[in-house]
Amino acid sequence: MDTVLLVVILLTGFYMAWNIGANDVANAMGTSVGSGALTLRQAVLVAAILEFSGAFFFGSHVSKTMQSGIINPDLFLSDPKILVYGMLASLASAGIWLQMASYFGWPVSTTHSIVGAIVGFGLAVGGVHAIYWGNVGYIVSTWIFSPILGGIIAYYIFTFIRKKILYTLNPFESACKVTPFIVFFLVAVLTSILVFEGFRNVQFTISNTEKGFVVFIAGLVGAVISHFLLRRMSSLQTVKVEAQFSPEVVESLQKAKKHLEKVKGKTTGELQYKVDLITQEVTNLSTFLDHQREQISHTHGEYSKVERIFGYLQIISACMMAFAHGANDVANAIGPLSAAVEILTTGIFAIEAPIPLWALALGGTGIVIGLATWGWRVMDTIGKKITELTPSRGFAAEFGAAATIVLASRFGMPVSTTHTLVGAVLGVGLARGLGAVNLNTTRDILISWLVTVPIGALLAIILFYPIHLIFG
């Protein structure tokens, strides 16, 4: 019976990870596809690599919280198997609720469902005292603060971009000057996450000064590389493609069209037919030229050059986003799973034991498979529909969200990636970055908070008893 239970748990956990990869990754990365910073293929590749590394190297903090930060495992010492059933019930309840939410299109977060489910099962089985209410309070407060913090960071990043690049008299040159500093900052943040925290679970220890040194050097290398790349880009930019014709050409064609139409009106029969053919040809030619001229003037605007630079920067922020997402969301599947598996295999649950690496790898793999089998499709849809986010806006939003999520992951706080990203996009909107941002989404998110936790809890309780009956 235990083997069957083990298989069921692994399958459910894997299904959760698959679900995260299939639906949530698209929200994290779709903005990059939408802004054209990454093609769909590149985005899927980047997401796969970084989601996995985020989950593998950095996923243990939040997983730990899920495992033993919400309910007190000591209460189950007499019959640890109860905890196994509970974790399975939590996973299943979150899975069912998410499926329903996807079907109806509600902005429900994986994180909120699983936390709600664990709290519900803990309440039902262990009573009020089984729950660490203080921790749950912290977690809930991070759900509120993470979108706000994401918004604030994105707001200031975009304000910085505005003041230092967009508002200068030569935006492209300013962008070339400022970008190495941004890259330094970005790479330093990324490597400090990795060096200070990430390698803990792979036994890779160096002293703090050395770590600081590594971070500084990595940032510097990034900045220097970006500097040279930018120099190459600006020398390429000087070769401008001029329009092959003057605007008068277009105007003359318009006039010719007008006169031809006059002729057409005054003639009949075969002559009119012939004139009509010529008119059509002229119309085609003039729309073609118009289109070409528009394209040339569009692609050679000063701002579009700036956006191209931000396209490259956004690749880095997208990586950060994927990493942060993997680090935070893998816990939703792996936290309950690894606790259950540990009890099943060893018979006891050791609170101090680290999250096993194989579990993190399993979660990472599940996310990547979800992405490969379904998530890319969702990403494509989102990418095609979000065209308002140009690379500079996308960069600000992604950076704000990713920084917040990484910070939350460091403190073991399970937050919702999408809600944080929504907050960040609102921040960019408030900084005069976007045409129209709809605040109504925040209302939907608020409702989903209020609904998801109780429903997740209720479902977990309902599922717990049949599972207990079947396997107990």
Q: Do you know the residue count of the chain? A: 472
Which residue lies nearer to another protein by CB, 275 or 422? 422
Q: What residues numbered 433-472 form the site for another protein, per CB under 8 A?
A: 433-441, 443-445
Closest CA to 106 of 465, 448, 469: 448
Q: What does the alpha-carbon distance between residue 131 and residue 20 come to, in Å, rounded to a whole number?
A: 26
**Tokens 């709290």 correspond to what residue?**
119
Which residue lies nearer to another protein by CB, 33 or 87? 33
Q: Applying CB under 8 A, which of residues 390, 404, 409, 420 lies at the interface with another protein?
A: 390
Backbone angles phi, psi at 432, to 5 degrees: 60, 35
Q: Applying CB under 8 A, which of residues 7, 74, 141, 167 lies at the interface with another protein?
A: 167
Q: Applying CB under 8 A, which of residues 71, 87, 91, 108 lies at the interface with another protein?
A: 108
Q: Is the CB of residue 355 less than 8 Å from the CB of residue 338?
A: yes
Which residue lies nearer to another protein by CB, 184 or 310? 310
x/- string (CB under 8 A) for another protein, residues 48-67?
A: --------------------
Asked if 272 interacts with another protein (CB under 8 A), we say no
Asked if 110 interacts with another protein (CB under 8 A), we say yes
**Tokens 């053919």 correspond to what residue?**
277
Which residue lies nearer to another protein by CB, 73 or 171? 171
Asked if 208 interacts with another protein (CB under 8 A), we say no
DSSP letter for each residue of 149-192? HHHHHHHHHHHHHIIIIITSSSHHHHHHHHHHHHHHHHHHHHHH
**Tokens 């809890």 correspond to what residue?**
457
Q: Which part of the chain contacts another protein (CB under 8 A), choosing from 182-190, 284-292, 343-351, 422-430?
A: 422-430
**Tokens 């003359």 correspond to what residue?**
252
Between the CA of residue 331 and those of 55, 133, 278, 343, 367, what are the distances in Å? 8, 20, 67, 18, 11
Asked if 233 interacts with another protein (CB under 8 A), we say no
Which residue lies nearer to another protein by CB, 5 or 396? 396
Closest CA to 119 of 143, 95, 93: 93
Asked if 93 interacts with another protein (CB under 8 A), we say no
Closest distance to another protein from the beta carbon of 140 (Å):
18
Asked if 166 interacts with another protein (CB under 8 A), we say yes
Strand partners, 71: 131
Closest distance to another protein from the beta carbon of 105 (Å):
5
Neighbours of 88 (CB within 10 A): 25
x/- string (CB under 8 A) for another protein, residues 6-25?
A: -----------------xx-
Q: What residues numbered 302-361 form the site for another protein, per CB under 8 A?
A: 302-303
Closest CA to 119 of 95, 96, 76, 86: 86
Closest CA to 222 of 254, 262, 192: 192
Asked if 239 interacts with another protein (CB under 8 A), we say no
Asked if 366 interacts with another protein (CB under 8 A), we say no
Asked if 405 interacts with another protein (CB under 8 A), we say no
**Which tokens is 453 given?**
């936790």
Number of residues that bind another protein (CB under 8 A): 55
465 CB-near residues (< 8 Å, 6+ apart): none
Q: Is the CB of residue 330 less than 8 Å from the CB of residue 19?
A: no
Which residue lies nearer to another protein by CB, 46 or 396? 396
Asked if 32 interacts with another protein (CB under 8 A), we say no
SS3 435: coil
Q: Is the CB of residue 395 less than 8 Å from the CB of residue 41?
A: no
Q: Which part of the chain contacts another protein (CB under 8 A), choosing from 252-260, 308-316, 336-344, 431-439?
A: 431-439
Q: Give the binding site for another protein (CB under 8 A).
A: 23-24, 26-27, 30-31, 101-102, 105-110, 158, 162, 166-171, 301-303, 378, 381-382, 385-386, 388, 390, 416-418, 421-422, 425-426, 429-441, 443-445
